[in-house]
Each structure stands twice: as structure tokens, then as C-alpha cells.
Structure 1
Amino acid sequence: MNSSIKYLTFAVALLIYQNSYGQSSTDFLPKFIESTETTHQIKDNQKYTFGYLEVLENRDKPDGNTIKLPVYIFKSRSKNPKSDPILYTVGGPGYTSMRASQYMSYYKYLDDRDLILFEQRGTQYAQPSLDCPEWSKAIYLSNLPNADATKTDSLFQNAAKACSDRLRNTGIDLNSYRTNHIAADINDLMNVLEIESYNLLTMSYSTKIGQVLIRDYPNKIRSVVMDSPLPLEVNYDEESVYNLLESTTKLLTDCENDENCNSTFPNIKSRFFKYLEEKTTNPLRVEIENPKNGKIETFYLKGEDLISVFSIANTGDVPNIPFEINKLLNNDLTSVKEQLSYLFQKPGGGIGMGMRLSVWCAEETPFNAQERIAVETNKYAAVKGLSPAVFDKEVCEVWGVKKVSEIENMAVKSNIPVLLISGEYDESTPVKWAESMTHNLTNSYHMIFKGWKHSPTTNWGNPCAMQAANDFFNNPTEQPKPGCFEQIKRPEFKTK
């Protein structure tokens, strides 16, 4: 049966739309319900089906709440598409996948097969969405120049409690928003759509979803691409500061090994880290005008703040990083002031933050060695005080979700074909993590994109990683060798 006809025929046979959140049924079965109201406007020339996957919030409670998860099924541009679609879901945790729906014309995958865009439970367009405006407000208040640093911890703990209480009071089970639940949702979707074989495209956090799917529901998976992989067995928080410093060091070393960069910015690595260390002891004083009232506000920035010149950069910004660092070293604060001006913007709605808290507090924080977190926070003179933890242990205690089982922090072994893609300067999911995964994923390949940072497959300026991923889906028995890959060299650093 033609895949596009199959999706449509099956959807027509489904039960009529119900307002499912809060509904219960003793014989509930997952279902896909088509909808004419989509999350985004799709270009007229792109054929697609949109609907909601309806599943139980807690699969151990068959009479409990149901939730609805948006799904796009984008039709291939090929007249004879391959029968195994790609399912794509993005990272976070807590980010929406639905924004990608607007850019399907850029996705090479549709040249060969259908692409299913899946929204994870708890994220922006899911029903319910676990938003935490309380958390966004806490971030806003903590970044104001007159913020009392001694009260920051209680500020975030209070925000977590307020959000947790509010969500729980609406009947939401925060323990049901975890990676293994998302994997089960995807498996349900494949069964509901009667898809016999599919490929999986994951990025950053969602590579953990991919690993759980490989472990728990391998039968339908033909191949997997993991862009910027986060291994299940890695304790992210324990390494994050070290990984940031290591990636920064690598880029600045490459600058020093480049004749033009080094002659323009000599010894930039040692000078930058010495500068960060000095500002950690004697913070940089920066005055800017508050755009709301015209008042001059004063910020005091330490090394942990100023290293953001590297950490906030994406792949497209990489050639400018030494240039921006040199501006700092010469007390040119134009870029710093521009970034600080954003702090006066009103706080957002905390979209998906409850999902992020539930995942992290159940799957990451409980496995951290708190002694190591404390050591890492004060170990490096250049960024002393920068905590490696995404959320403090006390915040997770307030959030109040249960720790997952030990298997969720253990490496996955599989011979399913997997392509691992890394950016050379990625501090969030460093190259070494993907390399470690190749030992357990025995039918895997690893591609490192020189001079790139996080999530190479979404580098719109150079779609080479996307091409590699698509080549792999077409032939998962071989490592992709697109011609563009050999042409990628280390960046030409801006010098003026």
C-alpha cells in the first residue's frame, strides 16, 4: 500500500475528535486524530497530514488522563518515495519540534521519503504543555543589576515550587514526563500508523530518546542518526564546565596555529584565560542605559559571565570568536552591552520548562555526585563560581519527581545502523561522547565536522551534515562520504 494513502485511510477510520485531556477509558488505545487546525502555516506546495497522537499520560493508569501530541506527516517530493519514513524530534529537553514544520523546503530528507515531525509530551504545542512562567520570571529577576546574589537560590526554589504546585493542581502527573515515556509515545505512533519500518533523526537531548527506542523498541527501527549525541550513561552536569573550557581552549589553540589569527591576536588563549581569572577576582564594571526608563544601570561581570563570548556562539559565529575576545581584552564593550540590554526584556512564558525540570530532575540530577559538582564549581580559576549543574539539587528536591531506574543511566548496546554526528567545537555534547558510544553501537559511524559547534544538521549556512544524514538513511550499511565533507576546513578566523 502506498504510504501516503495508508496514512490517510487509517486516519479516516479513527474515532471522532474528543477533548481528551482529563478523559478516561478502561480500554483506552492510542489513536491518531487528524486536524485541520495546525500549529504553523505550511507552504501551499508542501503536502502533509496533521493530527494528534492521543496516549495515556501514565501507562500504568489505564483509567487516567490522556494527552495529545501534535504530529506532522510531510509527504516526500519523490514520485516514488521509499516506504520507510523518517521520524524527527528535536532536543532540549523541553524544546518544540513543531517550528521545523515551516522549513520543510530546506530538508533534503523529503527528496527520498516522508518525514514525520513529532512533538514530545510536555512541550510547547503538546496538550498539556508544561510551561513555567514562574521560572522565567526568576531568571529575569536574578539577572537584574540590583539582584541580591544571596537570595538567588531561594528565588529559583520558590519558582520551582510555585510551578510544580500549579501543574499538579491541574491534575498533571509530573512523573510521567520522562525520556522513556516519550520513546513509548513514538513506538505507539508507529503502531497506530501501521508503519513497519522507519528511520530516526534525533538531535542533542532527543538522542537519548533514540537510545531508549533502540533499547526498548528496536524491531521497527531501520537506521538512526544522532546529531550531537548525549549518551545515557554520561552525567552531563559533572562535566559541563570542563567541557566548556576544553572546547574554548581547542578553538583558541587553532587560532594560535593559524598564521593570520596568531599574528593578529598573539597568545590569545593565555591572555583570555588570564583575563577571565582577573575579572573573577575583580569583576568588570559595565554601565548601560536601561531601555525601559533611560536610567544608567551597572553590571559587574565575572569570568563565568564573560566566557559567554564562546558559549553563546553558534557555528556561524565561530570565525568571529577570537575577534570578539580581542575586543574584550581591549576593553571594547560594545558586544557585551548589546547582550546585557536583552536582560531588560520582559520574562517569557517558560515554555516547556516544566518538561525540562521533570526530565532533568528524574534522569540527571539523581545520578550526580554532589561532591564533584561542588568541586567543579570552584575548580577553575577562570570561571570560579560557575556551577556545572543545569538545576541545583535543592531545586529538584522542590520539583519532587522520582528518580528513574538505574537502566536509564546505562549505556545502550545495539547493532542497528547508527550515524553519530559531532561538531568539533561543541561544548554541550563534545566529540568524545560520540566516540565513546561507538564501542557499544557496533554498527555505527562517526563524523566530526571541523570548526562547527552544536547540531551540525541544522547549519543552514552549509547543509553538508544534513546531506550526510540523508545519504546514510539511503544507505545505512556504509559511512556517508558526501563531497562537501572533504571541503570543510577549519574556519578562517576574522582578523579585522
Structure 2
Amino acid sequence: MLTLCLAFAGALPGVSYAQTPQTRAVFEPGACAVEVASDEKIDCGTLTVPENRSAADSRTIRLPVIIFRSRAAQPASDPVMFLTGGPGNSALTGQRSGKSNPFLDARDQVLLEPRGARLAQPALECPDINALKGEIGAGRMRGEAAEAALVAAAAACRARLADAGVDLNGYTSAEVADDIEDLRLALGYRQLNLYALSYGTRLALTVARRHPASVRAMVLDSALPPEVNYDETASANSWRALNAAFDGCAVDPACAAAWPNPRADFQALVARADKERLPFGLADASIDARGAQVAQAVGMALQNPRLIPLIPRAVGAARQGRYEEIGGWITQAQGPSTFTWGLRLSVWCGEEAPFQDADRVRAQTSPDYGLGGMDARTASPAMCSAWNVAAASAVENQAVRSDAPTLILAGEFDPSTPPQWGRRLLANMPKAYFVQMPGLSHGASFNACGGRMAFDFVNDPTAPPAMTCVAKLAGADFAASAVR
């Protein structure tokens, strides 16, 4: 592991760079929290901030930082900061090298581990929830029993973290936005370019609301606006993406000839799997693959542009008794959750649950939705009741107005954050551009075309995005489903 104790531009170790004395934010250069390439210009350190800025006697917490230094002789004064999805993901895990990062040709890239995430101190891990999510995904636990187990695990994890002195009310998007601002000040950067994915887009919008002068430009991939009530529409979002795939087959002559009604094939397969255990040929005999597991597997395929065109064939073949393809997808969709659930619940139960219709949220797992009871929600009302954190200010459920130049990218088949959510941001962001990426899904910028657009936009956010590569995207070729 590389240890770096270099001086940073505009910053000295151990000195507070907070806007007010009460925040007590301190950045100290030091060892990297993850192993990084030893032959590159990479600096690391730790940002120490109050756990809860609204509490005068708050203890401090420690957040690891990685700075991939620019290759330019005179780097721009505004780095790129990537904001990961979640909530509950690590921003640093797996970030070893910047060698193939085009942003470093002109500017630094900064990564800050979110408070409460895996590499932060403390990390709000709830391993029992991670394991239970795997059991539920495998069909070994269902319905009321699954919900009761998750609620009990949430209550136990909350009690354990509280006994350890954790103030769970300090783990909010607003606090993370202030962490980002404190880090900007500490490192001496004039402004930041925020490149965000999924929940990270909600966090970027929170930064833009709380610290507008600090944001030079934003790239928002798979937007999650703060005002949408995610868990109220989890099943509807899944069906929107499913219908896009089924309609794509219907207008492709080869696919339509091979599979005249993939929507009916899917519905019949889910219903049959709920009535009897079908021979999916799974290597793990403990997986009880019912309707929810079929829907979960197809939902996994909707996240993968390579698999999206094959959905009609997979469900149609399974309805005809050929289960190999869908069985493979069911296997791929298995495994425990990887989120840091204490962080996930603190953010979600404080900022989403108080503003949602609990009855609508509970209804999302009803068999009436035709998804076998699949649970695409982030957290149930009962889990949030057990987590018991303070409700956020009403502003956290309101649309953000921002004059920051912004590129919004959305995937056509995204089952989690539909393109409409990105498009709606335009109403309050006069300098924003919306681009829907054909054939793509969640994480629409993680390809050559999207990456180029993000890079060009950060370099010159005053110029409208060039759409040449978007126009050349082939989209989903559903004729692939006609190949048996």
C-alpha cells in the first residue's frame, strides 16, 4: 500500500478549512485506504468531519480520500469528483489506477468515501441484512417471513450501531454534500465538476442546492431527482422497461415472427413458476426459483445491454419448456447484497420514507403487479420504522433549481431510474441538456459514446453536447432473439 504525505495546493495538514468553526473539518494527507498503482501520481488522505453538524457536541468521523493527479503540466483548477450510486456503495473500492482515465489529461479526479460507507470510520455495516437479501433473492425466504426477518435485522443492527455511539441522524445527503464542500475548501480547488451515477445524481443535486457557487458543471447519469418517490413506483418502473423490451421485439420482424407475444410469455412464465417448481436446471438445488426469481432474473438482464435483446427468446423458450437460458440468468442474479445497509437505511428512511405514501409502497410487492411479488424497493415502511431516524427537512423532497451547466444521460431500458426522471430536471435547470441513449440501461455513460460525451462536456460545458455518436448507436437488436 502506497503511503503519501505530500503537501496539497492550498492546504496544510492538520489545519481546519471549514467555513465556520463549528464544522471542525480537517484534511490530513496520509496512507491510501485501498491499494493504488505505485507508478502513478496518486495522493491520499483522510477528511475528518463532525458526525452531525447540527449537534454542538458531535463526535468526529473519518472519510478516506483519493486524488488521481492530472497528467497536465498546468492542471485546471476544477477537478472531477465522481459520486457513486447507492446509497450504501463505496466510492473507493476498486479504484486503483487513473491510467486510462481521460479526465486526467486536463484536471485531477477526486474520490471521497461517503460517510458511513465501507471504508469510512465508522462503517455502518449490517451483515445480517446483506445475508437475508441473498436468501430472499434465492426464494428460500418469502412474504411475511422475509419482511419480519428484515425488520428484525434492521432493529438489531440499529441497536448495535447506537450502542457503539453512532448518531444515525448524521448520515444524510445534506451532510455528505457538506463533506464534499469541506473537502473542496481543504484541497484549495476553486470549483468542482460533479460526475454522478444513480443515487449519486441526487447527491450532486443536493450539492448544487446547498453550495451552488462550488459547482462548475455536472454530468448526471441515470438521474434520481429528490422529488420522485422511488419506492411508490418500483414495480411500475420495472414494467416500463419490460414493456420497452417487449415492444422492441414486436416491431422487429424477425423477433416478432419467432415470439409473437413475449409479454404474454413472460406473464405466463411468472404465473406458472408461482404455481409449481419448474425444472430450471440450477446447480444450486437450494434456490427455490418461483415467479419472483424469474422477474428478478429478467430485471438483471434489463441492466445489461448485451442481454436486453435476448429477453423475448429467454422467456419464450422457457414457456415452451426450454429453461437453459432463463435458468442461467436466475443463477447470475443470485448472491447477498453488497450495500452498506446502515448507511442505506439512514439516508433512505430519513429522506424518502417520510414523504412517500406507505400504502403505495407496501403494494409494490403485490402479486397483482405480475412480478411474482418481486421486491424492487429500496426499503419497506416497516424497515424504516425499525431504523427510526429523524425525518429530513421538506426541502429534501423538493425539486432542485440549478444554473450549473448539466449533461443528463438516460438509458432507454433502465428499470430503476426511467428516462422521464432525467428529462423532468430540465424544467428547473435552464443550462441542462438531456440525452436518451438507445439500447442502453442504468449507467448510460459507461460506454465509449457516453464517456466521450461526459469528457467533452466537462471540458467545455458551454457547448451543447455533440450527438453524432448517439445517432450511430445501433440500439437493441431484437432480431438476436430469433436465433434459437
Please give the TM-score of this superposition, normalised by the length of structure 1.
0.88
Q: 1:336 Cα shift?
A: 4.5
**Corresponding position: 1:361 with 2:349:** yes
Gaps of 5+ in 1: 17-25
How big is the shift at 1:485? 2.1
Q: Which amino acid aligns with 2:255?
A: C
Alignment partner, residue 8 of structure 2:
8
Relative distance call for 1:387 and 1:136 in structure 2 (3 A) is: closer
Match 1:254 to one of 248, 255, 263 = 248
Work out which of the residue numbers 403, 416, 432 in structure 2 matches 1:444: 432
Q: Which residue of 2 aligns with 1:466?
A: 451
Once the 2 structures are TM-superposed, how far is the Cα of residue 154 of structure 1 from its aligned partner?
1.7
Contact 2:83 2:204 in 1 (8 A): no
Match of 2:290 in 1: 301
Q: Cα deviation per residue 1:327-360 (whole Å; 9 max; x = unaligned)?
A: 3223223345445557986x57x65111001111
Per the alignment, in what secondary structure is the counterpart of residue 70 of structure 2? coil
Other structure's SS at 1:452 match:
coil
Distance in 2 (alpha carbons) for counterparts of 1:433 and 1:148:
31
Deviation at 1:72, TM superposition (A): 1.1
In the superposition, relative to structure 1, how do residues 309 and 262 fare at CA in structure 2: closer, same or farther (>3 Å)? Answer: farther
- In structure 1, C-alpha distance between the alignment counterparts of 2:175 and 2:87, rounded to whole Å: 13
1:29 matched residue in structure 2: 24
Residue 375 of structure 1 deviates from its aligned partner by 4.3
2:18 aligned residue: none
Which residue of 471, 475, 479 maps to 1:490?
475
Question: Percent identity between the aligned chains?
Answer: 29
Tell me, in whole angstroms, the C-alpha distance in 1 between the residues paired with 2:193 and 2:333: 41
Answering whether residue 70 of structure 2 is matched by residue 69 of structure 1, we say: no
Shift in Å at residue 214 of structure 1?
1.0
Secondary structure at the aligned position of 1:447 is classed as strand
Trace 1:282-301 onto structure 2 (pairs within 5 A): 282-286=275-279, 296-297=285-286, 299-301=288-290
Match of 1:476 in 2: 461
Aligned residue runs from structure 1 range 104-123, under 5 A: 104-123=98-117
* Bigger shift: residues 124-133 or 386-395: 386-395
SS at match of 1:8: coil
Distance 1:110 1:380, change over 3 A: farther
Range with bigger deviation, 97-106 or 413-422: 97-106
Amino acid of the structure 2 residue aligned with 1:445: Y
Q: Superposition pairs for residues 347-496 of structure 1, below 5 Å?
A: 351-378=339-366, 380-383=368-371, 385-387=373-375, 389-458=377-446, 462-481=447-466, 483-493=468-478, 494-495=480-481, 496=483
The residue that corresponds to 1:171 in the other structure is: 165
1: CA distance, partners of 2:140 / 2:417: 34
Structure 1 451/165 Cα, relative in aligned 2: closer, same or farther at 3 Å?
same
Structure 2 vs 1, CA of residues 7 and 443 (structure 1 numbering), >3 Å: closer, same or farther? farther
Which one-letter code corresponds to 1:330 in the other structure? Q
* 2:198 corresponds to: 204
Work out whether residues 297 and 330 of structure 2, in 8 Å CA contact, stay in contact via their aligned partners in 1: no
TM-aligned CA distance change 1:231 to 1:271, over 3 Å: same
**Residue in 2 that maps onto 1:225:** 219
- Residue 194 of structure 2 corresponds to residue 194 of structure 1: no
**Aligned runs of 1:42-121 on 2, under 5 Å?**
42-99=36-93, 101-121=95-115
Output the CA distance in 2 between the equivalents of 1:162 and 1:236: 26
Q: Is the 8 A contact 1:424 1:448 kept in 2?
A: yes
Shift of 1:300: 4.8
The one-letter code matched in structure 2 to 1:443 is K
SS in 2 for 1:99: coil
SS at match of 1:263: helix
Corresponding pairs, count: 471
CA displacement, residues 364-413 of structure 1 (integer Å, 9 cap, x when unaligned): 11211123234444374522534553222111111111111111000011
SS in 2 for 1:113: coil
Task: Identify which range, 53-62 or 73-82, moves more after superposition.
Answer: 73-82
Give per-residue Cα distances to partners, 1:25-57, cap 9 Å, x unaligned: x96621111113x23332344211111111111
Structure 2 residue aligned with 1:240, among 234, 238, 253?
234
- 8 Å contact 2:353–2:384 — kept in the other structure? yes
| Aligned position for 1:21 | none
Q: For residues 367 and 128 of structure 2, what CA distance do their matches in structure 1 show? A: 32
Q: 2:8 is aligned with what amino acid?
A: L
The CA deviation at 1:6 is: 10
CA distance in 1, matches of 2:38, 2:325: 40
Amino acid at match of 2:24: L
Q: Taking structure 1 as reference, are residues 249 and 284 closer, same or farther at Cα in structure 2, changes over 3 Å only?
A: farther
Q: Distance in 2 between matches of 1:298 and 1:9?
A: 54
Confirm or deny: 8 A CA contact 1:130 1:353 kept in the other structure. yes
Residues 1:228 and 1:343: Cα distance change in structure 2 (over 3 Å): closer
SS state at 1:70 partner: strand
Structure 1 counterpart of 2:264, one-letter code: S
Answer yes or no: is the 8 Å Cα contact 1:53–1:68 preserved in 2: yes
AA paired with 1:117? Answer: L
The answer on whether the counterparts of 1:49 and 1:73 sit within 8 Å (CA) in structure 2 is: yes
TM-fit CA distance, 1:178: 0.8
Distance in 1 between residues matched to 2:412 and 2:138, nearest whole Å: 34
Q: In structure 1, what is the Cα distance between the partners aligned to 2:136 and 2:409?
A: 36
Letter in 2 for 1:193: L
- Corresponding residue for residue 328 of structure 1: 318
> Contact 1:286–1:300 at 8 Å: present in 2 too?
no
Asked if the contact 1:288–1:297 (Cα under 8 Å) also holds between the matched residues in 2, the reply is: no
SS at match of 1:478: coil
Is the CA contact (8 Å cut-off) linking 2:439 and 2:475 kept in structure 1?
yes
Question: Are the aligned partners of 1:214 and 1:414 in contact in 2 as well (CA < 8 Å)?
Answer: yes
1:64 positional shift? 2.3
Partner Cα distance (1:203, 1:270) in 2: 33
Q: CA deviation at 1:157?
A: 1.1
Following superposition, the deviation at residue 7 of structure 1 comes to: 6.0
TM-score, normalization by structure 2? 0.90
CA apart distance, 1:136? 2.0
Q: Give the whole-Å Cα distance in 2 for the aligned partners of 1:122 and 1:197.
A: 25
- Is the 2:34–2:92 Cα contact (8 Å) retained in structure 1? yes
Q: Tell me, yes or no, if the aligned pair for 2:315 and 2:326 is still in contact at 8 Å.
A: no
**102-111 or 185-194, which deviates more:** 102-111
Other-structure match for 1:319: 309
Of 177-186 and 271-280, the range deviating more from structure 2: 271-280
Let me know the Cα RMSD of the aligned residues: 2.7
CA distance in 1, matches of 2:51, 2:131: 28
Structure 1 counterpart of 2:27, one-letter code: F
Structure 1, 466-475 or 313-322: larger mean CA deviation: 313-322
